Amino acid sequence: MIGTVARAAAVLRSAEDILILTHRRPDGDTVGSANALCLALRKLGKKAFLAPNSEITRRYVRLLAPYAPYEGFAPRFVVTVDCADRTMIPADMAQYAQHIDLVIDHHRSNEGFGAENLVMGQRASCAEIVCDVIEEMGVALDSSIAEGIYIGASTDTGCFKFSNTTANTHRVAAKCLDAGVDGGEINRALFETKSRARYEIEGMLFSSMRFYRDGKIAVALITREARQKTGADWDDLDAIAGVPRQIEGVEVGLTLTELENGDTKVSVRTTKEVDASAICALVGGGGHLRAAGATLHCDSAEAIRRMIEATERVYAGETA
């Protein structure tokens, strides 16, 4: 852990003209955290805005867009939420990358690239840390603030399902529901609603799935053709990497997506028997114990071959 909640709250209380940055390929945690922090700072009477993020998807745009700064706003204090390092700052915000006043994050790998830093690696979501900071600033959670926190906490834990969920995650969720958040409706939109494109992609994924090592390794391929045919965008593909591992007996789920430039993106999801980050480290990627990824500069057939080989090497006890 770097920094303290009390220090981050004190720094924010004395800040003015605040700009909050979300990370590249924004997810529910970065957007929810940013939204909640922005609303809380405004409740303290401060000018606070959310930096536009060109990669925002339709799912989360409503949490970001209404709080964009007016033309010519000159921030005097810049905060990042859920950004593990400077490279995660969107390219069009690069002007701020070397001058971050406060970093709030939960990635263990975060070395603290701001003037002030609050990094709590034991938290499942950045939103839980933001919740602490908001309370420490003396702002009561209302349903609007709590909504962002709830979205951050639920999306980063697969709706409280994944092994990273802690007692603290549940306690924060309880506070959000007490504040009036309609968890059922939020979850329905985020976790229970599948576009037809998503359904079709999942159908294709399953019918094309191949198994290795007596069903312990499952490989799913999302071709460029399948994406074009179904019209699936990145929102539709969100969390699809978890699908192969869901099948009974599978310990390593490999999901490969053919990218436009000919590269192949690989997402690895494992059960407790296998270290996903070790597999990805062997092909130049990285990540967490049970969820890791890599981008391979080759076509999908070659990528499948390399990934199976890397997985077998990890089963054999090898590390990068």
Applying CB under 8 A, the residues found at the interface with a copy of itself are: 159-168, 170-171, 173-175, 177-178, 182-185, 187-188, 191-196, 199, 203, 206-207, 242, 245-248, 271-272
Closer to a copy of itself by Cβ: residue 67 or 211: 211
Please state the closest distance from residue 15 (CB atom) to a copy of itself, in A: 32
Please state the closest distance from residue 255 (CB atom) to a copy of itself, in A: 15
Please state the closest distance from residue 172 (CB atom) to a copy of itself, in A: 8
Closer to a copy of itself by Cβ: residue 53 or 164: 164
Q: Which amino acid is at 216?
A: K
HSE of 136 in the Cβ direction (CA atoms, 13 Å)?
17
Closer to a copy of itself by Cβ: residue 67 or 191: 191
Length of the chain: 320
Closer to a copy of itself by Cβ: residue 143 or 295: 143
For residue 224, count other CB atoms closer than 10 A to its CB. Answer: 13
| 42 sits in which H/E element | helix 28-43
Please state the closest distance from residue 290 (CB atom) to a copy of itself, in A: 9
Closer to a copy of itself by Cβ: residue 67 or 160: 160
Q: How far apart are CA 279 and CA 275, in angstroms?
A: 7
Please state the closest distance from residue 250 (CB atom) to a copy of itself, in A: 9
Quick one: 318 exposed, middle or buried, by C-beta within 10 A (0-12, 13-18, 19+)?
A: exposed
Short-list 268, 266, 269, 274, CA closest to 302: 266
Q: How far apart are CA 35 and CA 209, in angstroms?
A: 39
Give SS3 for 76.
coil
Q: Which amino acid is at 11?
A: V
Closer to a copy of itself by Cβ: residue 33 or 165: 165
Q: Which amino acid is at 159?
A: C
Please state the closest distance from residue 178 (CB atom) to a copy of itself, in A: 5
Please state the closest distance from residue 112 (CB atom) to a copy of itself, in A: 28
> Do β-strands 291-296 and 286-287 pair in parallel, antiparallel, or remain unpaired?
antiparallel
Q: How far apart are CA 86 and CA 98, in angstroms?
A: 8
Closer to a copy of itself by Cβ: residue 40 or 220: 220
- 129-148 burial string, b = 16+ CB within 10 Å, else e? bbbbbbebbebebeeebbbb
Instruction: For residue 41, give Cα distances in angstroms to 88, 140, 207, 264.
Output: 24, 11, 49, 42
Please state the closest distance from residue 36 (CB atom) to a copy of itself, in A: 17
Closer to a copy of itself by Cβ: residue 67 or 212: 212
